[in-house]
Amino acid sequence: MSSQDYGEGKRYGPSAFGDDLRRFVSLTYTLASTDFKLTYFGSFLGYFWSLMRPLLFFGVLYFVFTDIFHVGTNVPNYSVELLLGIILWTFFLQSTVGSVQSMLSREGLLRKMRFPRLVVPLAITLTSLFQLTTNLIPIFALALIRGINPTWAWFELIPVVALLAILASGIGMLLSVLYVRARDIAPIWDVTSQLLFYASPIIYPVFYYNHHTTSYYGKDCAFNSESDTYLNILTGKTCGASNVPVGNNLHLHFIGHFLMTNPIAAVIAQARHALVGGHEGVNPSAAFALGGWEYALIPVGIILVVFAVGVVVFHHEAPRISENL
Amino acid sequence: MPAVTIQGASKAFKLHHRQYHTLKERALHPFQARTYDLLQAVDNVSVDIAQGEFFGIIGRNGSGKSTLLKCLAGIYDIDAGKMHVRGRLSPFIELGVGFNLDLTARDNVILNAIVLGLTRKEAKARFDSIIAFAELEDFLDMRLKNYSSGMSVRLAFSVAIQVDADVLLIDEVLAVGDASFQQKCFDEFQRLKKEGRTILFVTHDMGAIQRFCDRALLLEKGRVVAIGDPADVAHRYNALNFGRTVHELSDDRSDDDRRTDYRDADITDAWFEDAAGARIASIPHREAIAVGVQVRFNAALDDPSFGVTIRNNAGATVFATTTEWSYGPTGHFAAGELVTVRVRLENWFTPASYTVTPSIARIGMGSDTIDLRADLATIIVHGGRFTTGVVDLPHEFEIQRG
């Protein structure tokens, strides 16, 4: 190991990144894998329990949306889509919520050791990423059971998950360091993440909507009125005899596009597109749902901006985390 | 080139009168003045510490010595000044940082070593020597929560020492652990010093300061009060710490005496020795010891009382005696006279470290302390059996039936 010769001109105190990249990586990995090991092997049936939560959530939602509201019946492979959405959301939620109080839970380390502060929230994201990887097993299993053939497109999941991880770590950095200053970040993020959950196509399928199609969920289908629209989205009812042209629903049109600029929505849409494959009217790629690949730059841009803001704010706050805690 | 350079380092903490911890509070009181007191924990400290030096930092509680160490360790950012450490630094500010109670000792050693700055490969390579030093070979796969506190400290210390740092920062971590392990730690520090490592040592133990350190620094309210020879600095520390007590106790003395630091007699040294009269740092249980105290008289005194108090590492007084109780009148001492007082005692102390606090006083109406030096020398008693008592007195049982 190289000696840590803190140069005369260099900043001496604690910082976000430290001055040794290898130590940064090794420490992040060690903390993350230790946490992962503890959740999986630390308790009786550890893996089972950590998988049980998203699966139970999936079971309840699947029952509600296929047997009570009939979304599932009209969307091909609704079960796979729902499970994929829930698992990806679980990853995002786990890593951001875990980051909020991460500094407090690592207080002992922060007050006694000099190490790159950024390791703390990044280790949380990495732990969640490990869990996501193990949670993908039931998804692939379900996809194969449902008769979806593996395609090269499945590899698209890697960059898609990477984008989600970048978003989650950016938000994680921001939350972890803001929590040191304001303790009500915890309930604030609780509410915000709830909103994000409903704003993202997790329990409902991705619909697309653009000028070239007259309908969604199949041709010759339109809405009676705006109030019907949401019901239609949720229930996936095939639209019957109504003849109101789609052009009258510009409001919905806008909302549809607007919702897709939400990076989580875009990520989930793209992940579903990759895993299940696009069908007529359903499971469009994120770019298609947004109305063109150039619009797909919006969610990607949001992800990168959030990450950059996270890095800048974290870097600014890092030297004083241990004394502000 | 000094191993550690500190130039005009300052560190202040803001103590807000009203600390807002939530956004809600800040939103509700946007115009409230954010007043605070500034606590200058470290105030313009400058010192160069040479490579291979065993450097002591002493000061009363709240004098800023731990903050200084934390700034050096890179945990706090200094507000002003410069700090420079050459080589790898290992902070012994708290042992076992990052230890996880649910993991086995094996996993914890690797985790802790990585936290302290080793790579995984290096940590694995040193694993055996870490365990051997801690003498915990038989408990490798035990979870740390089943370890006794002494065992985890041993483990943590072993990891920290095996990091092979060039500069070690030690903050009173040796208050725990049994006597033989403490002795082992000090032996290890001596070995590291011989290898040319630099050691910064924060403590309250004046005995240890004088025994191990080449130089010492005394902090008071964040400022450097004294720097130099450990005996002199320890002397200043005692003056700071007990000076007030001494003066309070001697209110009946003349005003002239109180205005200056002048005393009628100074305790200049104290030590433990064995039966042969050699100065010692440790001794087996039951081997006779003596406490030596050297006193210089600045004024002629008649029948002063010499006192010796022995305390254990928990701070409890285990033994106390004075010439007044056990000797009788001590006679006349002339100004300028140098006197060595020796107390021979049987060593029934159980294994632990003990300190001696020598004092000299006038006898008369109430005790009038002339000089008192807290914990001036330290001895570690080892061997013997572990009992729960502070002493293991010679004794015999008799069981009578009927």
Q: Which CATH number characterizes residue B166's domain?
A: 3.40.50.300
pLDDT (0 to 100) of residue A249: 52
pLDDT at B48: 92
User: What is the per-residue pLDDT for A43?
Assistant: 65
The confidence score (pLDDT) of residue A226 equals 36
Q: What percent of chain B has pLDDT over 90?
A: 14
More confident position, B329 or A212 = B329
Rounded mean pLDDT, B267-284: 89
Residue B76 with chain A: CB contacts under 8 Å: 13-14, 322-323
Statement: residue B365 has pLDDT above 90: no
Q: Exposed, middle or buried, B127 (CB in 10 Å: 0-12/13-18/19+)?
A: middle
Write the CB contacts of B322 (distance below 8 Å, at least 6 apart in sequence): B305, B306, B307, B308, B361
Beta-ladder partners of B91: B169
- Specify whether B216 is located in the same domain as B284: no
- B299 and B377 assigned to the same domain: yes
Specify whether B89 is located in the same domain as B14. Answer: yes
Task: Determine the pLDDT at residue A209.
Answer: 45
B238 belongs to a structural domain? no
- Nearest Cα of chain A lies from the Cα of B185 at a distance, in angstroms, of 20
Higher local confidence (pLDDT), B256 or A154: A154
DSSP-derived 3-state class of residue B236:
helix
- pLDDT top residue among B58 and A307: A307
Question: Residue A276 and residue A153: Cα distance in Å, rounded?
Answer: 9
Answer for the pair A92, A189: CB distance below 8 angstroms, yes or no.
no
Please indicate, yes or no, if residue B387 is contained in any of the structural domains. Answer: no
Q: Is B370 inside a domain boundary?
A: yes
Is residue B256 one of the residues assigned to a domain?
A: no
Ramachandran angles phi, psi of B20, nearest 5°: -95, 125
ipTM > 0.90 (yes/no):
no
CA-nearest residue of chain A to B120?
A: A26
Tell me whether residue A310 is exposed, middle or buried, using C-beta atoms within 10 angstroms of its C-beta: 0 to 12, 13 to 18, 19 or more.
buried
Q: What is the pLDDT of residue A212?
A: 39
Same domain, B221 and B270: no
Shared domain for B59 and B197, answered yes or no, is yes
CATH number at residue B326: 2.70.50.60
Answer yes or no: is B282 within a domain.
yes
Comparing CB atoms, the residue among B21, B93, B114 nearest residue A26 is: B114
Stated as kind and residue range, the H or E segment containing B371 is: strand B368-372
For residues B41-48, give the mean pLDDT. Answer: 91
Measured between beta carbons, the chain B residues lying within 8 angstroms of A319 are: 77
Q: Measured between CB atoms, does A127 come within 8 Å of chain B?
A: no
B37 lies in the same domain as B174: yes
pLDDT for position A113: 80
Do B110 and B188 belong together in one domain?
yes
Mean pLDDT over each residue of chain B, to the nearest integer: 82
- Where chain A has pLDDT below 50, the residues are 1-10, 208-248
Give the C-alpha distances (Å, rounded to integers) separating B220 from A52, A180, B13, B226, B232.
Answer: 58, 31, 16, 9, 15
User: Which of B86, B89, B114, B164 would you mutate first to test chain A, the one with the most A CBs within 10 A?
Assistant: B114
Mean pLDDT along residues B215-222: 90
- Point out the least confidently predicted range of B148-162, B165-179, B267-281: B165-179
Residue B378 lies in a domain: yes
H runs (alpha helix) in B61-205: 65-72, 105-115, 120-134, 149-162, 179-194
pLDDT interval class at B245 (50, 70, 90):
very low
Q: What mean pLDDT comes out for the span B14-30?
A: 77
SS3 B188: helix
Q: How far is B5 from chain A (nearest CA, A)?
A: 10
- Domain holding B219, by residue range, is 4-225
Classify residue B158: in a domain, yes or no: yes
Q: Are residues B98 and B172 in the same domain?
A: yes
**Mean pLDDT of all residues in B172-197:** 75
Residue A189 backbone zone (phi > 0: left; psi -120 to 50: alpha; other: beta): alpha
Mean pLDDT over B288-303 rounds to: 91
The count of structural domains within chain B is 2
Longest dimension (CA), chain B: 86
Cβ A221 vs Cβ A244: under 8 Å: no
Give chain A positions within 8 Å (CB) of B103: 34, 37-38
Q: Which residues of B touch A4 (CB under 8 A)?
A: 85, 87-89, 117
The answer for residues whose C-beta is within 8 angstroms of residue B191's C-beta and 6 or more apart is none
Distance CA B267, CA A45 (A): 67
Q: Among A239-243, B125-129, B188-192, B292-296, which is the least confidently predicted range? A: A239-243
What are the φ and ψ backbone dihedral angles of A48, each rounded to 5 degrees?
Answer: -60, -50
CA neighbor of B108 nearest in space, from B139, B135, B133: B139
Q: Residue ranges of the domains in chain A?
A: 28-324
Which candidate from A38, A113, A184 shows the least CB-CB separation from B75?
A113
Alpha helices per DSSP H over chain A: 21-41, 46-63, 71-74, 78-100, 102-105, 107-112, 119-145, 157-181, 185-199, 226-235, 250-260, 263-276, 286-290, 293-317, 321-324
Question: In degrees, to the nearest 5, what angle opens at C-alpha B336 toward C-alphas B333 and B337?
Answer: 45
Q: In this structure, are residues A13 and B71 in contact, taking their beta carbons and an 8 Å threshold?
A: yes
Contact: B100, A34; criterion CB under 8 Å = yes
Question: In this complex, do A14 and B75 lie within 8 Å of one another by their Cβ atoms?
Answer: yes
Q: Are B294 and B268 in contact (CB under 8 A)?
A: yes
